[in-house]
């Protein structure tokens, strides 16, 4: 969540890098396996797409196959016009 490296996490919690890596892997398997995944992870259906996105030909071709935001919210973001070209086709 914070973007810290495993080395920083190990130093913060006074554990070895091996211990941090081992428990991170365990948690990763727990979150991606049943029953946690099927209970807490759901993909939005076509009806949950906001009408502003669905009915606008400017947005819909780009968002047609998008899964959605992690928590289901969509945040409108637009960079300033002077630097907009820097953000075209970026990941």
Q: What is the pLDDT of residue 33?
A: 87
Task: Read off the tokens for 4.
Answer: 């810290």
Q: What is the pLDDT along the chain (91 residues), one digit of tens a residue?
A: 567 888 998 999 999 999 999 999 999 998 888 888 888 877 666 667 778 888 888 888 887 777 666 565 666 677 788 887 777 765 5
Burial 11-48 (b: 16+ CB within 10 A, else e): eeeeeeeeebeeeeeeeeeeeeeeeeeeeeeeeeeeee
- pTM higher than the cut 0.85: no
């Amino acid at each position: 969540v914070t973007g810290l490296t495993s080395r920083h996490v190990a130093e913060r919690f006074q554990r070895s890098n091996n211990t941090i890596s081992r428990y991170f892997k365990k948690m990763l398997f727990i979150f991606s396996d049943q029953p946690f995944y099927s209970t807490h992870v759901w993909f939005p259906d076509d009806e949950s797409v906001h009408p502003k996105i669905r009915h606008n030909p400017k947005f819909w071709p780009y968002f047609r196959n998008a899964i959605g935001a992690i928590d289901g919210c969509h945040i409108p973001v637009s960079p300033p016009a002077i630097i907009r070209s820097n953000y075209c086709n970026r990941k």
